[in-house]
């Protein structure tokens, strides 16, 4: 059902279609366990011969509906929800990389992803090379090694807000015979569907726009079902899995080989699953994703234009601004809007930037992004503080950079708030208790 639906209809009704007399709203199945009549019924499930639920670590009806909706939104063949975005990224990588393997990663990725690849995966023997995502395809491909297993990048870099050159990256990964893994968190499948631009695997922190209300941690891995795993580099997907009595993922599950392995092997063993309650909340969030992303994008564009003409601001970076060097790419890959995050510099440097943040009344200082409420952060001293200044520069983080995550409030109130904060919080002084 719903194969021809557009994104808004999938947001509201995808993933769950109640039968006669069943609840209209996706129920929260807050159960770890499932009851069966005979040992043979359960054995068939353990053999992967029958479909059904065994144990919530590897599957649950509420989580499954959320996964099905997300896979439909992205246009993939299947999805696995995880405890957080970091858990999704780790699962996506470990599903096809072992000790001794190598990956290529855009230097503009989220700080947490950078640390995961540069520090924690390195300890497991997986090495990352970071590249400038604006390099031509041939130069990116030239950084590969015989043991390179994937290329990784973000649709919209967090917080550089650079728009990925999908054409170059997909060309480079095709040349190398490795999948292109895309973090689509800040764009969401409403604004961009990476599988249509050559991506093979998509990951998300659903903690951000998918939930959208800053109430549930979560992540998801979506399989495009469009990569040939039989090219000799991914033997674990082709040869029998001894931990699953000889299942052969490609032979037995075809286009869904990658995502079945991620669930039955890795989610089973690592246990980084989403909780049913978080799937329930995140599904409620998805029901309004299309409306929220439209408003986030409209508000962010209006604020970017307002900041751009204000003399107290030294620079503004938003890919939806006609003056942005990312504008053409944004028009090509994000035609419905450039999402809700923008960055800018306040004249006067670090001290002025800090005072500005302290003066805000509607926007709040939080370690978060992509939520219905407007929020702000200073990445150089927080999310990116573990990096050297040179690494920060490669990630697009300058000392004066302020990241504004524009919410879905009335934009007039947001602009008034920015205005008073830039002029020292004066207009609102009488409101202070
Ligand atoms: C927040 C974020 C992550 C990490 O997700 P968590 O849910 O916080 O673990 C990964 N990628 C991007 C682009 C993010 O913004």
Summary mean pLDDT of the chain: 94
Would you say residue 398 has pLDDT above 70?
Answer: yes
pLDDT digits (tens, 9 = 90+) for 352-383: 888 999 999 999 999 889 999 999 998 888 87
CATH class belonging to 290-422:
alpha beta
pLDDT of res. 427? 57
Atom of ligand 1 nearest to the CA of 370: 15
**327 C-alpha to center of ligand 1: Å?**
24
**60 C-alpha to center of ligand 1: Å?**
23
Would you say residue 393 has pLDDT above 60?
Answer: yes
**Ligand 1 atom 2: the closest Cα is on which residue?**
205
Would you say residue 131 has pLDDT above 80?
Answer: yes
Atom of ligand 1 nearest to the CA of 217: 7
pLDDT of res. 429? 46
Quote the CA–CA distance of 201 and 169 in Å, as a whole number: 13
Domain ranges of the chain: 7-96+179-286, 290-422
Would you say residue 197 has pLDDT above 80?
Answer: yes
CB 428 within 8 A of CB 392: no
Torsion over CA of 291, 17, 92 and 143, rounded to 10 degrees? -60
Quote the CA–CA distance of 98 and 61 in Å, as a whole number: 31
Atom of ligand 1 nearest to the CA of 156: 13
- What is the mean predicted confidence (pLDDT) over 120-138? 97
**248 C-alpha to center of ligand 1: Å?**
32
- Given 3-state DSSP classes, what are the helix, strand and coil percentages for the chain, each rounded to the nearest 5? 40, 15, 45
**Ligand 1 atom 4: the closest Cα is on which residue?**
85
Instruction: Check residue 60 and report its DSSP letter.
Output: -
Name the residue with tokens 């990784």: 152
pLDDT digits (tens, 9 = 90+) for 285-296: 999 999 999 999
- What is the mean predicted confidence (pLDDT) over 178-187? 98
Q: pLDDT category, 119, cuts 50, 70, 90?
A: very high
Q: What percent of the chain has pLDDT over 70?
A: 98
- What is the mean predicted confidence (pLDDT) over 328-344? 97
Backbone dihedral region for residue 100 (phi beyond 0: left; psi -120 to 50: alpha; all else: beta): left
**111 C-alpha to center of ligand 1: Å?**
9
b/e 98-134 (16+ beta carbons within 10 angstroms → b): eeebbbbbbbbbbbbbbebbbeebeeeebbbebbebb
CB 214 within 8 A of CB 206: no
Pocket test for ligand 1, best of 85, 116, 155 (most atoms within 8 A of CB): 85
**129 C-alpha to center of ligand 1: Å?**
20
Q: What's the burial of 45, exposed, middle or buried (CB within 10 Å: 0-12/13-18/19+)?
A: middle
Q: pLDDT category, 433, cuts 50, 70, 90?
A: very low
Q: pLDDT category, 432, cuts 50, 70, 90?
A: very low
pLDDT digits (tens, 9 = 90+) for 248-262: 999 999 999 999 999
Would you say residue 306 has pLDDT above 50?
Answer: yes
Task: Report DSSP letters for 315-381, one per residue.
Answer: EEE-TTSTTSTTHHHHHHH-TT---SEEEEEETTHHHHHHHHHHH-SSSEE-S--SSSS-EEE-GGG
Top-confidence residue, 393 or 204:
204
Would you say residue 409 has pLDDT above 70?
Answer: yes
pLDDT of res. 162? 95
Quote the CA–CA distance of 177 and 196 in Å, as a whole number: 18
Which CATH code, of 3.40.640.10, 3.40.50.2300, 3.20.190.10, 3.40.50.300, is assigned to 7-96+179-286?
Answer: 3.40.640.10
pLDDT of res. 46? 85
């Amino acid at each position: 059902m719903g194969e021809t639906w557009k994104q808004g209809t999938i947001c509201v009704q995808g993933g769950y279609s109640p039968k006669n007399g069943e609840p209209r709203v996706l129920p929260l199945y807050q159960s770890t366990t499932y009851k069966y009549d005979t040992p043979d019924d359960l054995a068939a499930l353990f053999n992967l011969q029958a479909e059904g639920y065994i144990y919530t670590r590897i599957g649950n009806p509420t989580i499954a509906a959320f996964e099905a909706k997300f896979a439909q939104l992205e246009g993939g063949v299947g999805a696995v929800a995880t405890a957080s975005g970091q858990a999704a990224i780790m699962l996506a990588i470990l599903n096809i990389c072992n000790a001794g393997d190598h990956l290529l990663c855009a230097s503009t990725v989220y700080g947490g992803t950078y640390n995961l690849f540069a520090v924690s995966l390195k300890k497991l023997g997986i090495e990352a090379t970071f590249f400038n995502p604006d390099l031509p395809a041939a130069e990116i491909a030239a950084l590969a090694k015989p043991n390179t297993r994937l290329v990784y990048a973000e649709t919209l870099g967090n917080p550089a807000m650079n728009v990925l050159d999908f054409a170059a990256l997909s060309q480079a990964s095709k040349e190398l015979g490795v999948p292109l893994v895309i973090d689509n968190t800040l764009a969401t499948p409403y604004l961009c569907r990476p599988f249509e631009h050559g991506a093979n695997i998509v990951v998300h922190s659903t903690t951000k726009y998918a939930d959208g209300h800053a109430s549930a941690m979560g992540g998801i891995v979506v399989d495009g079902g469009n990569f040939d795993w039989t090219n000799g580099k991914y033997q674990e997907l082709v040869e029998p899995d001894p931990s699953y009595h000889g299942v052969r993922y490609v032979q037995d599950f075809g286009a869904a080989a990658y995502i079945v392995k991620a669930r039955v092997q890795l989610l089973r063993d690592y246990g980084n699953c989403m909780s049913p309650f978080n799937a329930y909340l995140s599904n409620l969030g998805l029901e309004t994703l299309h409306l929220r992303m439209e408003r986030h994008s409209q508000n962010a564009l209006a604020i970017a234009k307002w900041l751009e003409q204000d003399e107290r601001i030294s620079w503004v970076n938003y890919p939806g601004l006609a003056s942005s060097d990312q504008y053409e790419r944004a028009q090509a890959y994000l035609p419905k809007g450039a999402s809700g995050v923008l960055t800018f510099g306040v004249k006067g440097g670090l001290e002025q930037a800090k005072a500005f943040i302290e003066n805000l009344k509607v926007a709040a200082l939080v370690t978060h992004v992509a939520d219905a409420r407007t929020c702000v952060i200073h990445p150089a001293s927080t999310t990116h503080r573990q990096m050297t200044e040179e690494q920060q520069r490669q990630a697009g983080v300058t000392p004066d950079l302020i990241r504004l995550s524009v919410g879905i409030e009335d934009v007039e109130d947001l602009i008034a708030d920015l205005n008073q904060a830039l002029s020292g919080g004066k207009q609102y002084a009488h409101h202070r208790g």
